[in-house]
Amino acid sequence: MKKTITTLTLALSLFTTKAQTVVENFESLPLATNSAYSSTTGVSFTTGGASFQHKYSGYWSGGFSYTNKYDSATVGFTNLYGVKPLKGYNNSNIYVIGQDNGVINLTAPSNTVGGFYITNTTYAYKSMKLGDSFAKKFGGVSGNDPDFFKVTVRGYKGGVLLADSVPFYLADFRFTNNSLDYLVDTWQWVNTSTLGNVDSLKFFMFTSDNGSFGPNTPLFFGIDNFTTTQSSVGLAENKTNFNLSVYPNPFSSVITIQSDILTEGTISIMDVAGKIIYSQQLNEMQTTLDVNALPNGIYFLELSSAGQKTVKKLIKN
């Protein structure tokens, strides 16, 4: 039997019981006017289901800090907390500044980070735009130097670094046509849902401008509206006493589902946030689905029967 998925919104009535999305805009965090979070004992700050690492070594030396310091003009390292858009996303009052190798730990298991808004700090932006005593002007004198400034987000689960990553270029001068070169100066959305189910994120920063002592570009970035989805469905593969086979995987347009159960069951396809996008009853040991309508990405197929369930990770490319 072959079924065709023609819409991605089937069974959405089940969504509210399956997952809860939390958008943390940091506005409720306690903060005096024109200041930034600083813990001399290196205590992380926790909000919205996530704990943001904060390191202190006589100064803020790593991780994250939240702030309401608005400075999009001052050049140099004295302006650690300003962002180029001046304020937070959608003109909000509080946003977060992160450093290279910063870690965000999720406070609940089985979470997916849907994404967040990101931008350049004033410090990094001015350094790349103008050059300074440590770093070069991006593009060089001719404007042809293929410079870049990138953040790569990686996920961890159970202490294991996952294979997938999400890159975002805060500056990119690698284009043959120099008119396409850019420095990010607004808040831009980064979709990290493709990392799947994680318990922490780590941010790695890379620049084309490196010297004998390491990167010359200031390794700072701003984030806001950190969005997590807390799901009650198991997105990891569960062990049960019945078998489920899905092939081909990765797939492009059609998948065949085969199980060893004889009783009726339910097949559900979920996205990485745990949202059910397709569901049907299974009354045969083998069925085929036409999933050509699904965008490329990561999905999870759940088979439930007689109080048992198993989940398989699917990849469409």
**Given this model, what pLDDT does residue 79 score?**
97
Least confident of 124-133, 272-281, 283-292: 272-281
Same domain, 225 and 290: no
Q: Which of 167, 239, 155, 240 is nearest to 199 (CA)?
A: 155
Same domain, 47 and 149: yes
Residue 187 main-chain phi, psi, to 5 deg:
-80, 125
pLDDT digits (tens, 9 = 90+) for 102-135: 999 998 766 889 999 999 999 999 999 999 999 9
Q: Could you tell me the CA-to-CA distances from 310 to 124, 248, 290, 300 in Å, in that order?
A: 47, 18, 21, 10
Same domain, 192 and 312: no
Q: Which helix (DSSP H) or strand (DSSP E) does residue 40 occupy?
A: none
Same domain, 170 and 295: no
pTM comes to 0.69
Same domain, 112 and 162: yes
Range 282-302 average pLDDT: 82
Q: Please, which pLDDT band fits residue 86 given cuts at 50, 70 and 90?
A: very high
Range 18-43 average pLDDT: 90
Same domain, 152 and 45: yes
Q: Please, which pLDDT band fits residue 22 given cuts at 50, 70 and 90?
A: confident
CA distance 223 to 66: 9
For residue 245, what are its two tokens?
């086979």
Last residue of a domain, one of 215, 231, 247: 231
Residue 285: which domain range? 2-15+234-316
Percent of the chain with pLDDT over 70: 85
Report the mean per-residue pLDDT for the chain.
85
Whether residue 304 is predicted with pLDDT greater than 50 in this model: the reply is yes
Same domain, 175 and 305: no
Domain count, the chain: 2
**Given this model, what pLDDT does residue 178 score?**
94
